[in-house]
Amino acid sequence: MKYTEALRLTQPIHHARLRPRGALFVTMQSTTRLAFFMSSKLALAAIQSIAKSQAPHLRARAILRLAIIPSLGLWCAAALSAPAGPQQNVLSRPGMTLNGKWHVIVDPYENGYYDYRREPFDAAAAPRGGYFLDRKPADRSDLVEYDFDTSPTLMVPGDWNSQEDRLFYYEGSVWYRRTFHYTPSSPNRRVFVHFGAANYQADVYLNGQKLGRHVGGFTPFAFEITTLLKASNNSLVVKVDNTRHADAVPTVNTDWWNYGGLTRDVTLVETPALFIRDYQVQLAKNSPGRIAARVQLDGATAPVKVTLSIAGAGVSASAMSDAEGAATFNLDARKLKLWSPENPQLYGVSLTAGEDRIEDRIGFRRIAVRGNDILLNDRSVFLRGISLHEENPLRGGRAYSVEDARLLLGWAKELGCNFVRLAHYPHNEHMARIADELGLMLWEEVPVYWTIQWENPQTLANAKTQLTELITRDRNRASVVVWSVANETPVSEPRTRFLKELVDTVRALDATRLVSAAMEVHPDPADPNHRIVDDPFGAYTDLLSFNQYVGWYDGLPDKLPQIRWSLGYQKPVVISEFGADALQGFHADRLTRFSEEYQEDLYRQTIAMLKRIPQWRGTTPWILVDFRSPRRPLPHVQDGWNRKGLIGENGMKKKAFFVLKDFYDSIEKSSDTLPPKRP
């Protein structure tokens, strides 16, 4: 079965039965929510009765004493604000899609969030305003200055910039609201609302109650809504804010479009009370021929039998969960056919625990480095790659769907790639799943880009969270072979410390893949043709990856034959970027900037230059397709597009596409798993 056929989220499940709200199924979150609700109600009632019954001086003291109750409420509200932990493989769970038209209110002054004293409405024990209340006037005299029902709509998933001309450059807050009916399929089920991503900050409310906030524009998050959900007329409101901040990840300065909105799928996900929250089923790192698996349950109060089976490989085993609700497996995997670009073998994997059952399609392969080689399943491999932004130029805007993934990764296959760098932030989950199917290895990355605040602990925590959410989502994807923690960050001690913490985070979460970062090159003041890579961070990565632009930002392509390299590490070199802008269809001689001929010549000469690096083991040139960037204003040439694509915004291939394709085809013919011939 293909991955697309396995998507089961488009069909709503309607059942008439009511859900019991037994104590066992009230989660921590719902308990605190209840406490908050009760405490604020109690406090209000008490204050009203004091106000009616007591003398003024007694009144003040009594009200002061009661202030403790709403504070308890506020404490509880704070406990509500974290999203539920990450869930593995939500795409295969039953539930209901919330994709489609959502009503939106554009709110540049954040009127719907702050009162006129700039206090957030949702910080009050009983909010008196705020668009999240989704109010209607109670009668003709009632004053309500917004109305979702008559406000315009935007499609979800989708960025707002490419859907509405007036929002093309908009950076700020937009409120999204969607109403829905939903009854879980049987009693005692739990329900979560899951967001593939919202750029950059999302405040989420259901039926007027705050579920919490998520920060970070490219990773998934979910909130449990079991006890707040009604059978009909639920109002789900999300304030999405894509304002750039200096202390954020990414920071204010990037070379891509800051698309805002609910950019990925939104779904209701239904599970039994006890369910499989997370799992990692991969080959064991140090024992070839064995699978090491860990399954994490949610809602287990006693040991539970967990089974894991891979029917196609005759594997089936069970284990009891431990005190943390985790079950571990170590299984014989000698019968498995390994996943590779030539044979992207995936196996149906099923996991069961109690009433829960979840199915996945997983590939098994080994990736490692040895000396200057990258080993895929113990054979040296050359990474025939390309970089890619998450944009569909033909429709415009962020890519989000299976079809988008097939279009973009299909172009990479046409180019002869076995490897794709998903730059510069986590792309949607479909990308990794389609790459699994197509046999493309992936480099996945977090937006630690250029000038992050290296000494700000909140910025570090933010980067770690985004990295954790990405790895948790994709660590069962055979396609993912590299986690990259940064791009072109300026060398300094605080920056290296920051990045080292990210490497530690990766290794703690997933020791089976390679770690890298796109580093920089520096010139030798004594020799104009000498380039050096000696970033101290290179000591912590598995690959020596760097971006270099000799011939574009650094002289003209004629310089390329003279360039010599000093590389500070004996590691496989993967050139994470090189390239030149070219406007598709603009033809001139090879020294005319922005012509296809300039780009074509630069590719030819760069490939020849890179062949002289003995430890060269792969590259991801910049970039497969032109992409939007506000840094690129040159009229009639760029018009707001970075033109370094090998394919234009119109989907037409430029001449350089064929230069790279010829090179990749020649490697493939000589041997797919050997580096190119050294000169």
Binding stretches for ligand GCB (CB under 6 A):
255, 424, 487-488, 547, 577, 622, 642, 644
Q: How far is the CB of 251 from ligand GCB (least distance, A)?
A: 13
Judged by DSSP in three states, 61 sits in: helix
Nearer to ligand GCB, 351 or 550 (CB): 550
Q: How far is the CB of 646 from ligand GCB (least distance, A)?
A: 13
The letter for the amino acid at 421 is: R
Q: How far is the CB of 101 from ligand GCB (least distance, A)?
A: 33
Q: How far is the CB of 424 from ligand GCB (least distance, A)?
A: 6
Nearer to ligand GCB, 476 or 487 (CB): 487
Of 277, 422, 433, the residue nearest 362 (C-alpha): 433
* 516 Cβ contact partners less than 8 Å away, ≥ 6 residues apart: 443, 482, 483, 484, 485, 541, 542, 543, 545, 574, 576
Q: How far is CA 439 from the centre of its chain?
A: 21
Backbone torsions φ then ψ of 481, nearest 5 degrees: -115, -15
Rounded alpha-carbon distances, angstroms, from residue 509 to 82, 299, 471: 20, 22, 7
* Radius of gyration in angstroms for the set of CA atoms belonging to the chain, rounded to a whole number: 27
The letter for the amino acid at 615 is: Q
Q: How far is the CB of 389 from ligand GCB (least distance, A)?
A: 8
Nearer to ligand GCB, 644 or 654 (CB): 644
Q: How far is the CB of 516 from ligand GCB (least distance, A)?
A: 14
The Cβ of residue 274 has, within 10 Å, a number of other Cβ atoms equal to 23
Q: How far is Cα 91 from Cα 194, in angstroms, rounded to an integer?
A: 10
Nearer to ligand GCB, 33 or 389 (CB): 389
Nearer to ligand GCB, 469 or 488 (CB): 488
Helix (H) / strand (E) element for 278: namely strand 275-283
* Token representation of residue 567: 């590389």
Q: How far is the CB of 622 from ligand GCB (least distance, A)?
A: 5
Q: How far is the CB of 643 from ligand GCB (least distance, A)?
A: 9
Nearer to ligand GCB, 227 or 576 (CB): 576
Nearer to ligand GCB, 161 or 547 (CB): 547
Nearer to ligand GCB, 419 or 546 (CB): 546
* Token representation of residue 231: 């059978």
Q: How far is the CB of 518 from ligand GCB (least distance, A)?
A: 6
Rounded alpha-carbon distances, angstroms, from residue 109 to 117, 118, 625: 13, 10, 36
Nearer to ligand GCB, 37 or 549 (CB): 549
Q: How far is Cα 95 from Cα 224, in angstroms, rounded to an integer?
A: 13
Rounded alpha-carbon distances, angstroms, from residue 416 to 341, 421, 586, 642: 11, 14, 25, 23
Q: Is the dihedral of CA 589, 591, 592, 597 positive or negative?
A: positive
Q: Which residue is nearest to ligand GCB (CB)?
A: 255
Q: How far is Cα 62 from Cα 642, in angstroms, rounded to an integer?
A: 65
Nearer to ligand GCB, 366 or 421 (CB): 421
Nearer to ligand GCB, 392 or 642 (CB): 642
Long-range contacts of 27-30 (CB under 8 A, 24+ apart): 27/190, 27/224, 27/226, 27/227, 28/79, 29/79, 29/80, 29/84, 29/223, 29/224, 30/224, 30/226, 30/227, 30/228
Length of the chain: 679
* 478 Cβ contact partners less than 8 Å away, ≥ 6 residues apart: 339, 344, 346, 362, 363, 364, 365, 436
Q: How far is Cα 266 from Cα 225, in angstroms, rounded to an integer?
A: 14
* 78 Cβ contact partners less than 8 Å away, ≥ 6 residues apart: none
Please list the residues that pair with 352 across neighbouring strands: 307, 357
Judged by DSSP in three states, 322 sits in: coil
The letter for the amino acid at 2 is: K
Nearer to ligand GCB, 33 or 424 (CB): 424
Q: Is the dihedral of CA 195, 196, 198, 200 positive or negative?
A: positive
Q: How far is the CB of 388 from ligand GCB (least distance, A)?
A: 12
Nearer to ligand GCB, 148 or 546 (CB): 546
Residue with the two structure tokens 């919490």 = 212
Nearer to ligand GCB, 175 or 622 (CB): 622
Nearer to ligand GCB, 213 or 424 (CB): 424
Pairing state of beta strands 419-422 and 383-388?
Answer: parallel
Backbone torsions φ then ψ of 537, nearest 5 degrees: -65, -25
Q: How far is the CB of 621 from ligand GCB (least distance, A)?
A: 11
Q: How far is the CB of 487 from ligand GCB (least distance, A)?
A: 5
Q: How far is the CB of 449 from ligand GCB (least distance, A)?
A: 7
Q: How far is the CB of 446 from ligand GCB (least distance, A)?
A: 14
* Token representation of residue 380: 């040296």
Q: How far is the CB of 627 from ligand GCB (least distance, A)?
A: 8
Q: How far is Cα 308 from Cα 401, in angstroms, rounded to an integer?
A: 30
Q: How far is the CB of 520 from ligand GCB (least distance, A)?
A: 8
Q: How far is the CB of 632 from ligand GCB (least distance, A)?
A: 8
Nearer to ligand GCB, 505 or 545 (CB): 545
Nearer to ligand GCB, 308 or 575 (CB): 575
